[in-house]
Amino acid sequence: MPVLRHAFLLNAVQELGRSVSAILRTRASWEECLGLIRETCTASLGMEFETLTRFDARSVVGLFTHPEQARILARLVDERARLFEAHGRYAEALEDSVYAGQLLACSRARFGLPRDARAADVLEREAGTPSPLD
């Protein structure tokens, strides 16, 4: 079983790596970029992007069996935040950035991982302690 889980995670990370460069290239096209984010989420995590982002970060991280899954979703949410920013939708961009940080923080709390590149420290220092999404 651990071998299958490792293979699944390796495939998910590789899929994210292949897709991120395409997402970056298509950021000018709203629908194309959003479509790539959705496809990457489905291909790498096996779940729909919109479904995952409807729930609070703690609940979503509770669905995952490995911290890499939370990191992948956080990266995709961050890419959508960058897409919102590129199209002048700053409130939505900020909301997604906070949500990505909450995903990472909940992942560390659940899986007991050390801080990933101090992302939560920077977020906490700049924006304060994140509150649950209402």
The reported pLDDT for the residue numbered 92 is 95
Residue found under tokens 């956080």: 74
Domain count, the chain: 1
Taking only the tens place, the pLDDT of each residue in 7-63 is 555 566 566 666 666 665 666 677 888 888 898 889 888 899 999 999 999 999 999
* Burial class of residue 26 (count of CB atoms within 10 Å of its CB; 0-12, 13-18, 19+): middle
pTM beyond 0.85:
no
Split at pLDDT 50, 70, 90, the class of 65 is confident
Distances (CA, A) of 69 to 3, 5, 100: 16, 11, 12
Cα(80)–Cα(93) distance, integer angstroms: 7
Residue found under tokens 């899929």: 15
Task: Report yes or no on 98 lying in a domain.
Answer: yes
Task: Report yes or no on 117 lying in a domain.
Answer: yes
Q: 47 lies in which domain range?
A: 2-127
